[in-house]
Amino acid sequence: MADVILETRHLTKEFKGFTAVNDVNLQVQRGHIHALIGPNGAGKTTCFNLLTKFLVPTAGQILFNNRDITSAAPAQIARQGIIRSFQISAVFPHLTVMENVRIGLQRSLGNSFHFWTSERTLSRLNDRAMALLAEVDLTEFADTVTVDLPYGRKRALEIATTLGMEPELMLLDEPTQGMGHEDVHRVTELIKKVSAGRTILMVEHNMNVVSGICDRISVLQRGAMLAEGSYQEVSSNPQVMEAYMGT
Ligand code: ADP
């Protein structure tokens, strides 16, 4: 039987009478890279905001590891292992890459981290931060001030800070947006690499990326689920073709 890590049942969000997400049933399999695609205004961002409880659903349920998390607070969601990639704006631009990763780790330790934390803990924190930088191929940029990091590498930093929170399910918001060919390739490879042993749900517009690394694709249109399946299945679906060409 399929191992579903995340499921939404009849997920719905209305904004003053406008239904941005309409009765969405989504199933994400454990270990998959799953893409959420759809034309602008389809409801992808609203879905992500519902999953991380940035928004409260009007109706429907969200289940994570078969547990109903519909009423859980954002911090509880994160503690359970659903981590959305940080926007780069959440990173301190004038600190180094290494310092930002370390701060991310300290944050994830929460109340158990104090300024009087032992030398041993600090050294473990440094080791973990260096390991995360190595995992995302940023070792050579460890001492670079974040604001000076090349654009394409900023996503890698976001991914490193996200990995520091030990996600079971990573939500990535348009990870290749605004990138040139080379950076798109690098970030795509990185996502593939970090997906080992994890599940990824990503909003992505670049169909080369989607077809290249995603195991399953859900297509939203005007808030509703239009199609779901492999890239082959959804890309040959006449309704999907019309949704993309007709808007
Ligand atoms: P996507 O990410 O697929 O482009 P969004 O989830 O951002 O789509 O938006 C879906 C629809 O919901 C859009 O028509 C948008 O204008 C509307 N919407 C999103 N957030 C709000 C809000 N806070 N208030 C009113 N309408 C909203």
Claim to verify: residue 149 and residue 36 sit in the same structural domain: no
pTM of the shown model = 0.92
Claim to verify: residue 122 and residue 111 sit in the same structural domain: yes
What DSSP state is assigned to residue 126? Answer: H
Give the pLDDT of residue 36.
Answer: 97
Hey, whose CA ends up nearest to atom 22 of ligand 1? Answer: 15
Give the pLDDT of residue 145.
Answer: 96
Claim to verify: residue 124 and residue 245 sit in the same structural domain: no
Claim to verify: residue 151 and residue 176 sit in the same structural domain: no
Q: What is the mean pLDDT of each run of 10 residues along the chain (247 residues)?
A: 90 96 98 96 96 95 97 91 76 91 80 64 88 96 95 91 91 93 95 95 95 96 96 92 71
Atom of ligand 1 nearest to the CA of 46: 6
In a domain, 87, yes or no: no
Claim to verify: residue 173 and residue 244 sit in the same structural domain: yes
Q: How far is the CA of 107 from the centre of ligand 1 (A)?
A: 30
Atom of ligand 1 nearest to the CA of 220: 3
Segment 86-129, tens digit of pLDDT: 655 567 889 999 999 998 888 777 655 565 567 777 788 899 99
* Domain end call among 166, 183, 209: 166
Give the pLDDT of residue 3.
Answer: 95
When computed from its CA atoms, the radius of gyration of the chain, rounded to whole angstroms, is 19
In a domain, 86, yes or no: no
What DSSP state is assigned to residue 198? Answer: S
The CA distance from 209 to 234, in Å, is: 15
Q: Would the CB of 45 count as within 6 Å of ligand 1?
A: yes
Claim to verify: residue 63 and residue 3 sit in the same structural domain: yes
* Domain end call among 149, 166, 183: 166
Claim to verify: residue 26 and residue 76 sit in the same structural domain: yes
Give the pLDDT of residue 247.
Answer: 46
**Domain region containing 212:** 1-81+168-247
**Domains identified in the chain, total number:** 2
